[in-house]
Amino acid sequence: MATISVNMLRSLVDERISIKVSGLPTNSPVTLHLQIKETYGSFSAFGHYMTDEAGRLDLDSSCSVGGTYTGLDSMGLFWSLKQDPSQRTGLRLLRREAEIPLKYQLMALNGHVMWDELAGEQKPNSGHALCSIGLERTYLSDSVERLPIKFGRLRGALFKPRSQRSCPPVIDLFGTGGGLMEHRSALLAKEGFSVLALAYFNYEDLPKELHEIDMDYFEEAVDFMLASPYSRLGPEGGLGLIGVSAGADIVANAAILFGKKIRAVAWLNGNRCRSWFPVRYRARWLPNHFPMNVALVKPSDRSDGLYSREACCSGCTEAQELPVEKSTCRFLFLSSLDDYSMPVDTGARLAARIRRSNGQRRVDHVAYPGAGHLLEPPISPCTPLCYHGLYGLNMDYGGNSKQHHEAQVDSWCRIIQLFREELDPVSARL
């Protein structure tokens, strides 16, 4: 009888697990099919393998010769997940609530079964099925606690290691999808940080829609974290910020406006102008916001999404770019070069501004060929086409699965290293 064995039936989404199958036909073609069904849609991945002379597969040493990924990678089935073709387009596999695990079904099938049979209207012939097993992947480690935050205007959730009362503080921001996104914060907390996942619209009693960027709100969040008993400040004080897309615009603005309160910023695929939206700080409107030029938004030539790269900050001159050189913190700019929703040269341009202003100041810029807009923690699948709630349409976010996966592994290590070196320098040297 064929049997699938996994060293961890419940694991964290960024953990590598070991998958083995025994009792299979010897020297024969076998398909492993991974599927997850969510309320909004289902996602699948599969690999084609050949068993050894003992009828075994070990994904640590068995290569996939076809399917959603090829080659040797024990986690290939997870990072190559894609939405089933029978679903509406633009779906993104994501769990906003870190406490709720993702539940997968892994099945071994006889022969090399193709995608249209696995995920289409057809179903695998009952003679194909050999064995199956259920798996759970979660963002929230048992070593991390979640604390809901409702303080003044602030709304969000704070994640911190249970074993430590205070840790280096970080604030985590996402973009125009709105609501509260907890998954990245929970995984960062596992690495020894006190992380505030901060909502700023479309959550609880916050504004339902985003019409402006109120930087006073974000400074309140910074001050809250700096004064929190859960925050352990380094010798230089200050905290870290991480933001993607419109969240990257906000953290860059914060670094410019809030001075030494900000020690480190991880910037992922943002704009070079101040924002698409009007930005207000201390009762005044700040210059150089550029609304998206809808005339330059056009259908993508490679998907049924929209190509908006040229529409972002259209008309913004070098003099009107974000003056990141006025900040005092260390920046890590991360750019995805296959991002069709944002200008891909922005990170390089902003990093160059800092270097020209102060050649001695450390600034890092990393560009990732083949990576798409939505850089997530490791082993998360690529989302090349995603529904954009603000515009009510699918956006071409780009990326191919393997290069996007490699970019996520590398960028995650760099983000953690940045925060350790700038917020907890003593521990970083140990």
CA distance 264 to 239: 7
Angle at 60 between CA 57 and CA 65, to 5 degrees: 65
Q: Residue 430: CB partners within 8 Å, gap ≥ 6?
A: none
Instruction: Name the β-bridge partners of 421.
Output: none
CA distance 10 to 4: 15
Angle at 357 between CA 353 and CA 361, to 5 degrees: 95
- Is the separation of the CB atoms in 337 and 305 below 8 Å? no
3-class DSSP assignment, residue 37: strand
Q: How many other CB atoms are there within 10 angstroms of residue 286's CB atom?
A: 17
> Known catalytic residue: 128?
no
Q: At what angle do helices 246-257 and 215-227 cross, to 10 degrees?
A: 70
| 289's tokens | 């916001």
- Is the separation of the CB atoms in 373 and 346 below 8 Å? no
| 114's tokens | 């193709």
Q: Catalytic residue among 48, 128, 373, 388, which?
A: 373
Q: Catalytic residue among 73, 172, 338, 339, which?
A: 339
| 47's tokens | 């690999």
Q: Closest Cα to residue 14, out of 415, 429, 331, 336?
A: 415
Sheet holding 3-6, edge to edge: 3-6, 19-22, 57-58
> Known catalytic residue: 245?
yes
Please return the burial class of 278, using the count of CB atoms within 10 Å of its CB with bins 0-12, 13-18 and 19+. middle
The residue length of the chain stands at 430
CA distance 264 to 243: 12
What value does the CA radius of gyration of the chain take, rounded to a whole number of Å?
23
Query: Half-sphere exposure of residue 393, counting CA atoms within 13 Å on the CB side?
Result: 15
Q: How many other CB atoms are there within 10 angstroms of residue 103's CB atom?
A: 14
Q: Catalytic residue among 245, 327, 380, 401, which?
A: 245
Residue spans of alpha helices (H) in 92-214 = 115-119, 183-190
> Known catalytic residue: 341?
no
**Lookup result for tokens 């590398």:** 410
CA distance 36 to 38: 7
Catalytic residues: 245, 339, 373
